[in-house]
Amino acid sequence: MELVNISISQLNACAYCLSIHARDALEAGETQQGIAVLPASRDTELFTDQERAALLWPNRWSSFLTAANKTSTTARLHASSPPLTVISWASIVMNACNLASIISRHNTTPQCAIQLPSP
Q: Taking Cα atoms as reference points, which of 3, 8, 2, 24 lies closest to residue 97?
A: 8
- Share above pLDDT 90 across residues of the chain, in percent, rounded to a whole number: 19
pLDDT at residue 28 tops 80: yes
Domain ranges within the chain, ordered by starting residue: 2-112
Amino acid (1-letter code) at residue 58: P
pLDDT the model gives residue 103:
75
CA of residue 89 relative to chain centroid, distance: 13
Mean per-residue pLDDT, 23-30: 94
Torsion over CA: 62, 68, 74, 77 (sign): positive
For domain 2-112, say whether CATH 1.20.1290.10 is its number.
yes
**Distance from C-alpha of 56 to C-alpha of 53, rounded to nearest angstrom:** 5
- pTM exceeds cut of 0.75: no
